[in-house]
Structure 1
Amino acid sequence: MTSKMTAEEANTFLGGAFDTHASRSEVTLMEEGRAVVRLVADSTHLRPGGYISGPTQMSLVDTAAYMAVMTKTGHEPMTVTSNLSINFLRPCIGDVVVADARIMKIGQALAVMDVDVRIEGAEKPSSHAVVTYAIPRERSGMA
Structure 2
Amino acid sequence: MTNVMDKAALQDYLSKEFGPVGAALSIEEVTEQSVTLRLTPEQHHIRLGGTVSGPSLFMLADVGFFFAILARLGPVAMAVTTNASIDFMRKPDGAKPVLGECTVHKLGRTLAVGQVLMRNPGSDKVLAQASMTYAIPPKRD
Structure 1 length-normalised TM: 0.91
Partner Cα distance (1:30, 1:86) in 2: 22
Partner Cα distance (1:72, 1:13) in 2: 14
Please name the residue that 2:39 is paired with: 39
SS in 2 for 1:3: coil
**Structure 1 residue 8 corresponds to structure 2 residue 8:** yes
Partner Cα distance (1:45, 1:22) in 2: 13
Structure 2 length-normalised TM: 0.92
**Structure 1 residue 123 corresponds to structure 2 residue 124:** yes
Please name the residue that 1:103 is paired with: 104
SS in 2 for 1:64: helix
In the alignment, is the contact (CA less than 8 A) between 1:117 and 1:127 conserved in 2?
yes
**Alignment-mate amino acid for residue 99 of structure 1:** G
Runs of 4+ aligned residues of structure 1 deviating over 4 Å after TM superposition are: none
Once the 2 structures are TM-superposed, how far is the Cα of residue 41 of structure 1 from its aligned partner? 1.0
Once the 2 structures are TM-superposed, how far is the Cα of residue 30 of structure 1 from its aligned partner? 2.0
**Alignment-mate amino acid for residue 39 of structure 2:** L
Any unmatched runs of 5+ in structure 1? none
Any unmatched runs of 5+ in structure 2? none
Shift in alpha-carbon separation, 1:111–1:74, aligned structure 2, 3 A: same
SS in 1 for 2:62: helix
In the alignment, is the contact (CA less than 8 A) between 1:33 and 1:69 conserved in 2?
no
CA offsets 1:119-138 (integer angstroms, 9 cap, x no match): 22221110010000111111
In the alignment, is the contact (CA less than 8 A) between 1:28 and 1:38 conserved in 2?
yes
Partner Cα distance (1:136, 1:23) in 2: 27
Partner Cα distance (2:6, 2:54) in 1: 28
Once the 2 structures are TM-superposed, how far is the Cα of residue 22 of structure 1 from its aligned partner? 4.6
Please name the residue that 1:74 is paired with: 74
Once the 2 structures are TM-superposed, how far is the Cα of residue 57 of structure 1 from its aligned partner? 0.2
Once the 2 structures are TM-superposed, how far is the Cα of residue 139 of structure 1 from its aligned partner? 5.5
Partner Cα distance (1:139, 1:8) in 2: 26
In the alignment, is the contact (CA less than 8 A) between 1:81 and 1:134 conserved in 2?
yes
